[in-house]
Amino acid sequence: MLENYFSVLVFILVGLAFGCMPILMGRFVAPHRPDAEKLSAFECGFEPFEDARMKFDVRYYLIAIIFILFDLEIAFLFPWASIFQEIVNTPAVKFFGFIEMFVFMGILVVGYIYAWAKGALDWE
């Protein structure tokens, strides 16, 4: 019974080795010469001058959320595109697959136009 799980154990051990080996090699092989420049706080290439808990503009979050939404919606096109040849060659599904993708793209375009009309994509 346990011999069935041996391949899973080997897979886990190889994965751990691939993950830990570069870290351990960097720790033991790379030179370790800390100085004031390396130990200083790094914040976008300049010295920090304000509190780290300062508030960001809401538009930044809005653009990030819109990007994530459209990026995920576009990710749904890949499975459809990968079976597009099968959709076209199957007479029973041909018209349905075509209309289905137009409905999906229509919803995507309506959402994009709505965000654009509300000024969510304008950065002042």
Q: Dihedral angle at the C-alpha atoms of 8, 11, 17, 23, nearest 10 degrees?
A: -100
* Domains of the chain from N-terminus onward: 2-117 (1.20.58)
Alpha carbon distance 33, 35 (integer Å): 7
Residue 123 near residue 63 (C-beta atoms within 8 A) = yes
Q: What is the pLDDT along the chain (124 residues), one digit of tens a residue?
A: 778 899 999 999 999 999 999 999 998 998 888 887 777 766 665 556 666 676 767 777 888 888 888 888 888 888 888 888 888 888 888 888 888 888 988 988 898 898 889 887 777 6
pTM of this structure = 0.48
Alpha carbon distance 19, 104 (integer Å): 39
Token pair belonging to 17: 């080795």
Partner residues linked to 46 by β-bridges: 43
Alpha carbon distance 87, 110 (integer Å): 25
